[in-house]
Structure 1
Amino acid sequence: MPTALSLPPVMPFRWACAYGEDRTGLWQAFEVAGVRQVMRWIPPGEFLMGSPESEAERSDDERQHRVVLTDGFWLADTACTQALWEAVMGANPSQFKDDPQNPVEQLSWLDITDEFLPKINALAPGLQLVLPTEAQWEYACRAGTKTPFSFGENVTTEQANYDGNFPYAGGRKGEYRGNTVPVKALPANPWGLHQMHGNVYEWCVDEYAEYLEGTAETPVAHQDKTESRWRVRRGGGWVSPGGYCRSAYRRAGAPDVPDYNFGFRLARAAC
């Protein structure tokens, strides 16, 4: 939970249509064309990013290292919905359109950074939304935990939307839904963030690269828009095996290639 020293400097911000505090912390919401998105306050702190060598199904690019985030930030409590995307863009590219509260998908990194973010920020002056850095994303996904999932040592399809035919590390098999589900259909993590494991991969702003040695203090993402530079996706998706939904799991993708498994979550600096 945030402490008094870690609270944002102004409450509420002028972009907020509502705000409050609940058992998981502070939140503020904004609206575009009547579509509301809640942003949760993620306090500054430090954590071990990546996975220990003992973690099952880990990859070599998950080398564990200490990260210090000196500044708090705001993070959307859900992946961006089809409703919000359509309110901003006027169209819906998604494959699974049965519910406007499903996450928007069929998105490339460039669709978000070059098209959506400039438009939504123009519609709501002062909002200044961005994609989270990879370090911010994993810190928020873990929500203070050190286990493979924010829910513990394993995960079930009652907690996350993935291919339950391929459970993690000997876990029990579960449902394979074969599609996305609404962004709040499954439980939130301890910081009130829904479905950071599964449903859709979430693009981060970072260029994909090996982790550097030693402690990283407030890592700044590379933002070179050269299309040959791959970007980071996190969290796994509805078609992924359970192990791909781990907090530490990383995936690289070409920034100009969309997929029905790719979505995103909005972030904003502290002030």
Structure 2
Amino acid sequence: MRGAATRADLRPIPAQTFTMGSDDHYPEEAPACPVRVDAFSIGAHQVTNTEYAAFVDATGYRTVAERPLDPADFPGAPPENLVPGSMVFTGSAGPVDLRHLNLWWTWTPGASWRHPHGPRSGLDELGDHPVVHVAFEDAEAYAAWAGLVLPTEAEWEAAARGGIVGAAYTWGDEPEPAGARLANFWHGDFPWRAETGYGSTAPAGSFPANPYGLFDMAGNVWEWTADWYVARREGDPAASPCCVPSNPQGPAMEASLDPQQPQFRVPRKVVKGGSFLCADSYCRRYRPAARRPQMIDTGMSHIGFRCAQRSTA
């Protein structure tokens, strides 16, 4: 049965009204406001390499990072540069200026979900790790094959909060106590020195589940959602002052284009949850309210997904 492992992994999330977003952290998380979601189910784990391989074996699907590039899309580019690939995290040799992401991200020809660190790498001993280097359509294609969907931002956040009202983290209001292992985020000096057991993806489910029985809703890899991204959610129906919105689905696609980066005409989806690269000194986004934009045609070595099911799906 297609997607059987992923469907068996679903956990029920009750219908609820909760406070979505945060006014206390990053600007894009505001405004905090009440939102209602109907009951649904969501994967207890992020989709793994083994599960994604089953999809590819069954369908012959090729991800965006594996497809040949069309010269028409890159006028004037030398043919030798038109090689598919993806963005790979490459830790620096020492302290760097954290304003410049290019100091720890490298466009790597040949990198893909099969070759997560570049063309000479593979998936040996990574079968139970979350699949990465998947663009939005790659995640959506898997979900459709499994008879599921990608969660909306509101569904994802309700699930991540685990019924803990108003909490900053999936486990409660306080940061991770010293010596505890509650989530796979960066422990150490970012981006060059991680403590043992951190600094890369971990097998799905390596850290404690939240109260709904969901693993890695904080850290490990960012997760695609179905919603288009806007920098502040006033443009989202979730920000309506007249009533509590029900099952909001974010703005229209056109709103997700970044006016600050007109050269990038690729719309962006919301990713949630943070990753193994979230460091307290740089990116404390391993929280339910945290959100970032991701261009839909770009996979990276810290972005994956999990699937959901609605009663109408």
Same fold by TM-score, threshold 0.5 exceeded? yes
Listed one character per residue, the Cα deviations across residues 52-85 of structure 1 (whole Å, up to 9, x for unaligned) are 43xxxx111212111011x211100010011110
**The structure with more strand, counted as a fraction of residues:** 1
* Aligned residue identity for 1:270: S
Normalising by the residue count of structure 2, what TM-score does the alignment of the two structures yield? Answer: 0.65
Percent sequence identity over aligned pairs: 28
In the alignment, which residue of structure 1 is the partner of 2:246? 217
Structure-1 separation of matches of 2:48 and 2:252: 24
In the alignment, which residue of structure 2 is the partner of 1:182? 203
Offset at residue 190 of structure 1 (A): 0.5
Structure-2 separation of matches of 1:176 and 1:83: 22
> Bigger shift: 157-166 or 183-192?
157-166
Structure-2 separation of matches of 1:61 and 1:255: 19
In the alignment, which residue of structure 2 is the partner of 1:132? 151
Pair 1:221–1:79, CA change in 2 (3 A): same
Q: Are 2:153 and 2:226, in contact at CA under 8 Å, matched by a contact in 1? A: yes
Q: Are 1:165 and 1:175, in contact at CA under 8 Å, matched by a contact in 2? A: no
Count of matched residue positions in the alignment of Structure 1 and Structure 2: 224
2:279 maps to 1:241: yes
Select 2:169's aligned residue among 142, 149, 153: 149
Offset at residue 206 of structure 1 (A): 0.5
Normalising by the residue count of structure 1, what TM-score does the alignment of the two structures yield? Answer: 0.74
2:311 maps to 1:270: yes
Q: Are 1:77 and 1:194, in contact at CA under 8 Å, matched by a contact in 2? A: yes
In the alignment, which residue of structure 2 is the partner of 1:256? 297
* Aligned residue identity for 1:208: Y
Alignment of 1:1-271 (within 5 A): 31=4, 37-53=8-24, 58-63=25-30, 64-69=32-37, 71-90=38-57, 92-93=113-114, 95=116, 97=123, 98-113=125-140, 115-118=141-144, 120-121=145-146, 128-145=147-164, 146-152=166-172, 153-155=174-176, 158-165=181-188, 175=196, 177-209=198-230, 210-212=232-234, 213=239, 214=241, 215-222=244-251, 224=253, 228-242=266-280, 243-271=284-312
Structure-2 separation of matches of 1:230 and 1:218: 20
Structure 2, unaligned stretches of length 5 or more? 63-112, 118-122, 258-264
* Aligned residue identity for 1:165: G
Structure 1, unaligned stretches of length 5 or more? 1-14, 17-29, 122-127, 168-172
Pair 1:174–1:246, CA change in 2 (3 A): farther
Q: CA-atom RMSD, angstroms?
A: 2.7
